Amino acid sequence: MTLDNISYSQALELCLKNAKPINTTENIFINKALNRILAKDIIAKRDAPAFTNSAMDGFAFKHSDIKKLKVIKTIYAGDKYKDFEIKENDCVRIMTGAKVPSTLDTVIPIEKCEEVNEDYIVIPEIKKGANVRLKGEEIRKGDILIKKGEVVTPNIIAMLASQGIVNIQVYRNLKIAILSTGNELKEPWEEAGDDEIYNTNSYAIAALLKNFGFSADIIGVIPDSLEKTTEYIKELKNSYDVIITSGGISFGDADFLYEAYIKNGLKPLFHGIMVKPGRPTMAGIMDNTFVFAMPGNPLSAYINAFCLIIPTLRKLNGAAKYYFQTINAINKSEFKLNPKKDHTILGYYENGVWEVYNNYKYGSSMLSALVNSNSLTIINKGKKEVEKGEKLKIYLF
Amino acid sequence: MTLDNISYSQALELCLKNAKPINTTENIFINKALNRILAKDIIAKRDAPAFTNSAMDGFAFKHSDIKKLKVIKTIYAGDKYKDFEIKENDCVRIMTGAKVPSTLDTVIPIEKCEEVNEDYIVIPEIKKGANVRLKGEEIRKGDILIKKGEVVTPNIIAMLASQGIVNIQVYRNLKIAILSTGNELKEPWEEAGDDEIYNTNSYAIAALLKNFGFSADIIGVIPDSLEKTTEYIKELKNSYDVIITSGGISFGDADFLYEAYIKNGLKPLFHGIMVKPGRPTMAGIMDNTFVFAMPGNPLSAYINAFCLIIPTLRKLNGAAKYYFQTINAINKSEFKLNPKKDHTILGYYENGVWEVYNNYKYGSSMLSALVNSNSLTIINKGKKEVEKGEKLKIYLF
């Protein structure tokens, strides 16, 4: 039995194609809505502006009037008033955001007046309608403001607050379990001897997910026996939408996690990707639970979690856009590749230029590469080298 | 009295120059460390790898031995053992991550062997030291792993966990108060009449700050009287590192927030920026509290909070890097500008191309512009238009 040889992009597409969005929703208050995914279009509750108002501190007047105007009143932002009499050649002092009387149509800012006195002002030519924001000119009540499937950003929260929309319907949070395998692992707060290593992947992947708005439970290290692991996975699949493990799915003798998954009904989408690093990676569906089995090596596990898991979680959680935004960069220094594989390569992006970490000479367990990189690029197989000056697509962490 | 005319970049530099980092620190557990700022260098607690181990599932042997090797034992990841006798032309089966016996120096992966039997294997030529990760080859105990002032990313959490470093020293969180001014404001959950508007800025700015790892208290709308406001600000400055208000600092009659600040000892760094939108913006220091007074217009307030407040908060909180990472893009369609001002302009970035929102024809209160943009660009004064194909520096939200 050997690992599959599918390409990295095939692996991602298989994950996305088989990620069926959850449809359970909940209502939340806007204070808690950041990074949640809208389960329903947001419809405008009111016109914007809600009333015709002044865009400047100045004087509101009727454009057809003459150049010398009598100041009869001051209107402040927030002032509520019924229509009052405004005669020919009358004007009102008005503050930014204050409601413009319905018979007036233009506002001149104080600093543009030719003369300003207690009682009258003299004004130059100005365009009719200047500095007046008309009711509904931006948004009409009933308009679709934001589409279902959008991630709630601070920009969207601004819009929601301005509309007085405080309860929104979002998809519930995904329930995600993170586990590691292997007797060799110590938890980071335990004492580890020189021949022991720490459970890195659980904490790294949980932090990565958190950074993208997902919350995961760190379940710990699963036991090193097929029977116990099978039982463990069985319990977990009833409680979680997503199970993420790392290690245990190569075909080494102690790698029985794969078998435990299969015994629990897992249908693998792929088991092995022809990529460096991170070949022993599997994804699949086990009843209603999506399974990601990452490599044991922390660097590979982290990169694959970023590239494969994050977009898939977005889709599972109902997001309409789930691919990463890439940016273009120029490659700073040449590096060599094995043309038989796809590659995910760490590096540093700055001012349009990207530089590979350590000339692409780092191992798949070297976390220094991760700490000293702010981005990665994906190179498809068939290339022996990436030349200086080549254009690359970069994924920023 | 008129507003200052400093440039947008001067405004930012004045904020940054005067932002003195707090020096109170606290210890936190890595689970809670995401986006906090390191107050102390992280020093390696152990070598990485911690022990010499196999990079592959395969066979470990002494490179000087012959091509047919006797398999005497299997070593799994996590196996702890004392040195045992390994004779000439003996080898051990070994799993990825398992400790390599001290007398062996090379690992051959199973799939590269010419012959594999129960008892012996036949191997081809392979480089001495291949597939062996040497103790300490990546990190030496005592190395500086991560510098003070770095923001804790998931990448860094991976490194910390792998080192068994669970408690880290970070700067305490900034205490940030957000207020709005103006009788005209209703809270978003209140009923607003057609002539009333909602408190948008507090919620928008709080969400923006949260997205960058800062946590702020929304204090509400301050009263529309100089005396009460002065008292209010006095109480707040004793409890908060940063006060963010919006509105109330133009020179309209009802704009007495500025006066309330001055009465409380505020030393303004600037009061007015020659930028569109967002001219009525002020920053200053009031005893030990940094004050940001944003425009009342939600769009201007939001953009200035992004461009000016976020970098300043980063510096106040001890971050060594506080400027935004910009990306390069090609301008998609021409638009015109007022050459007398700097401009912060909303638009949409995709695949290296940036397009201004609505041909740069949107008002400073139009939140639709924000919802339909994913980025902004800053154009300094002196330009009448930005041409199609021009190179721009883009700030992604």
Calculate the alpha carbon distances from A4 to A236, A256, A303, B86, B206 in Å: 26, 17, 19, 35, 47
Q: Are residues A31 and A91 in the same domain?
A: no
Please indicate, yes or no, whether residues A241 and A378 belong to a single structural domain of this protein.
no
- Is residue A141, in this structure, part of any structural domain at all? no
Candidates B28, B75, B276; CA nearest to B169 is: B28
Return all residues near A331 (Cβ < 8 A) that are at least 6 apart.
A353, A354, A355, A356, A386, A387, A388, A389, A390, A391, A392
**For B93, phi and psi rounded to 5 degrees?**
-70, 140
Q: Decide if B372 is inside a domain.
A: yes
Do B18 and B37 belong to one domain? Answer: no
Chain B environment of A197 (Cβ under 8 Å)? 49-50, 97, 162
Residues 322-351 of B with CB under 8 A from A: 325-328, 349-351
Would the pLDDT of A299 be above 90? yes
**Tokens found for residue A357:** 């970490």
Query: Which residue, among B137, B135, B134, B125, has the nearest Cα to B63 in the 3D structure?
Result: B125
Tell me which residue in A35, A195, A203 faces B80 most closely, judged by beta carbons.
A195
Model pLDDT for residues A208-264, shown as the tens digit of each residue: 999 999 999 999 888 778 999 999 999 999 999 999 999 888 766 567 899 999 999
Residue A65, domain member (yes or no):
yes
Asked if B244 and B191 sit in the same domain, the reply is yes
Query: In chain B, what are the helix, strand and coil shares in percent, each to the nearest 5?
Result: 20, 30, 45
Q: Are residues A226 and A264 in the same domain?
A: yes
> Average pLDDT, stretch A29-48?
96
Pair (A275, A380) in one structural domain: no
Domain identity same for A37 and A67: no
CA distance A320 to B352: 21
For residue A1, being part of any structural domain is answered with: no
CATH number at residue A167: 3.90.105.10
Q: Which of B120-134, B136-150, B154-168, B181-195 has the lowest mean pLDDT?
A: B181-195
Range of the domain at B91: 53-133
Domain with B216 in it: what CATH number? Answer: 3.40.980.10
In this structure, the answer to whether residues B71 and B110 fall within a common structural domain is yes
- Answer whether residue A222 is part of any domain: yes
Residue of B nearest to A196 (CA): B78
For residue A201, give both structure tokens: 């992947």
Same domain, A227 and A290: yes
With respect to residue B151, please indicate whether it lies within any of the assigned structural domains.
yes
Q: Tell me the C-alpha distance between A112 and A377, whole Å.
A: 54
Q: Is the dihedral of CA A216, A217, A219, A221 positive or negative?
A: positive
CATH code, A375: 2.40.340.10
Asked if the C-beta of B138 comes within 8 angstroms of chain A's C-beta atoms, the answer is yes
Kindly report which listed range (A82-86, B127-131, B178-182) carries the lowest average pLDDT score: B178-182
Same domain, yes or no: A279 and A377: no
- Among A177-186, A368-377, B81-90, B335-344, name the one with the lowest average pLDDT: A177-186
Q: Give the CATH number of the domain where residue B93 resides.
A: 2.170.190.11
So what's the ipTM on this one? 0.90
What is the distance in angstroms between the Cα of A98 and the nearest Cα belonging to chain B? 9
Residues B367 and B384 in one domain: yes
Q: What is the pLDDT of residues A178-223, one digit of tens each?
A: 998 877 788 999 999 888 889 999 999 999 999 999 999 999 888 7
Domain total in chain B: 4
Does residue A139 belong to any structural domain of this protein? Answer: no
What pLDDT digit, counting tens, does each position of B197-255 carry? 899 999 999 999 999 999 999 998 887 789 999 999 999 999 999 999 998 887 665 67
Please report whether residue A38 resides in a domain. yes
Q: Do the Cβ atoms of B30 and A162 come within 8 Å?
A: no
Residue B340, phi then psi, degrees to nearest 5: -85, -5
| Residue ending a domain, choose from A133, A155, A190 | A133
**What's the mean pLDDT in B120-138?**
95
A373 interfacial to chain B (CB closer than 8 Å): yes
The answer on B286 and B151 residing in a single domain is no
